[in-house]
Amino acid sequence: MERRQFIERTLAASAAFGAATSVAQAAAAPQPGASAAASPPSPPPPTGELISGGGGGTSYQLPVTVERRREGKPHRGKVLAAIQPHCDDIPIYAGGTVLKLLDEGYEGILITMTDDSMAGTGRLHGEIAARNEQETLEVARRMGLKQSIFLNYPNHNMDAWPVVEMRARLVFLFRAFKVDTVLTYDPSGLYERNPDHYVGAKAVESACWMARSAWDYPEHLAAGLQPHGPADKYYFSRGPQLVNRVVDIGDFMDQKVWVNLANVTQGPAGNSGVNLRARLAAEGKRLPLLDGTDEQANRAYAKEFALARDRQRAVAYGLQYAEYFHYSPPDESAVDAYVRANAVRL
């Protein structure tokens, strides 16, 4: 498909997101005036590519849905888990979407998988880890997440750790907190150089699936937990990815910037505005962008440079700020859909 045509179809689909309509579903809808055929009507093909039987799709070109802010609290009663290897991952790639989903009624927890001892400023690894841990608590507070959990795997070395052990801990957390939705790195990790990003994501992906099984980790059930796993997933990536969900974060951008300023020890925002202003002043220069208070300088820097990706990614969709995801919807049974559409009374 020509790129322009694809974008046009994408935008047409995005306008209808309130009804959760995608291009694939729209294409499968019955046409007005179509004559009744001998065969019964088939329901729209499932959109999730993980379904047994599925829609038969193997394309790398996916229909894109633009997810816009929803009024009210449509997600009241649901729980999300924002899962990151390092303290700045969720704030950078999914901070706006987490804020949006919480605004729409979700409650949430933040799970940080490494000890964050290898990235940031400080004299010792322990000092770096302690600063990052403290700032992660502040990130959770600024986002409005009710709890922050640290799994403390070795930073930059998660590929030396058994995925099965990580999975077991995640399954426990998903069941204990009754997590419905996760946001984390894309497990495909195409061209990703940091092993923590894709190893952690692979553990999350398998844990989402197994947490719902009554046969996996039966000791949890004996201890009083129920099988319960996240039904849908938002995967983000810093590199190439099968993007099928673009989230409009325009209303939440300023709050996302505030969240990112909490990561001072590592992360691209923090005090970077103040630091750049001081460096330029020492050289006898001034950037009007960085005028004002320290916080104003840091906010301006974060918006212009550290989070420039959100502005650039929004352009193709006519938005101001956007985050990209590969979104996996809840599994949908083709049999159930067919029965709903075609079953008759005995």
Binding stretches for Zn ion (CB under 5 A): 86, 89
Q: How far is the CB of 97 from Zn ion (least distance, A)?
A: 17
The helix (H) or strand (E) run that includes residue 326 is strand 322-328
Pair 116, 136: CB distance under 8 Å: yes
Give the number of C-alpha atoms closer than 13 A to the C-alpha of residue 142, restricted to the C-beta side: 21
Q: Give the C-alpha separation, 32 to 285, whole Å.
A: 66
Q: How far is the CB of 98 from Zn ion (least distance, A)?
A: 16
Residues paired with residue 147 on neighbouring β-strands, in sequence order: 109
Q: Give the C-alpha separation, 215 to 170, whole Å.
A: 16
Pair 15, 318: CB distance under 8 Å: no
**Residue closer to Zn ion (CB basis): 21 or 263:** 263
Q: How far is the CB of 92 from Zn ion (least distance, A)?
A: 8
Long-range contacts, stretch 1-4, CB < 8 angstroms, 24+ apart: 1/61
3-state secondary structure of 183: strand
Residue 302 is classified by DSSP as I
Q: How far is the CB of 85 from Zn ion (least distance, A)?
A: 5
**Residue closer to Zn ion (CB basis): 86 or 100:** 86
**Residue closer to Zn ion (CB basis): 89 or 216:** 89
**Residue closer to Zn ion (CB basis): 248 or 310:** 310
Q: How far is the CB of 186 from Zn ion (least distance, A)?
A: 13
In the β-sheet with 245-248, what is the strand arrangement from edge to edge? 65-67, 245-248, 322-328, 232-236, 181-185, 79-84, 107-114, 147-153
Q: Give the C-alpha separation, 150 to 111, whole Å.
A: 6
Residue 55 is classified by DSSP as -
State phi, psi for 232 to the nearest 5 degrees: -135, 155
**Residue closer to Zn ion (CB basis): 161 or 217:** 161
**Residue closer to Zn ion (CB basis): 88 or 332:** 88
**Residue closer to Zn ion (CB basis): 89 or 186:** 89
Residue closest to Zn ion, measured at CB: 86
- DSSP assignment of 57-69: ---S----EEE--
- Of 261, 299, 298, 302, the closest CA to residue 278 belongs to 298
**Residue closer to Zn ion (CB basis): 75 or 86:** 86
Q: How far is the CB of 18 from Zn ion (least distance, A)?
A: 34
Q: How far is the CB of 194 from Zn ion (least distance, A)?
A: 6
Q: How far is the CB of 298 from Zn ion (least distance, A)?
A: 21
Q: Are strands 322-328 and 245-248 parallel, antiparallel or unpaired?
A: antiparallel
Q: Give the C-alpha separation, 81 to 98, whole Å.
A: 9
Q: How far is the CB of 127 from Zn ion (least distance, A)?
A: 19
**Residue closer to Zn ion (CB basis): 89 or 133:** 89
Q: Give the C-alpha separation, 332 to 51, whole Å.
A: 7
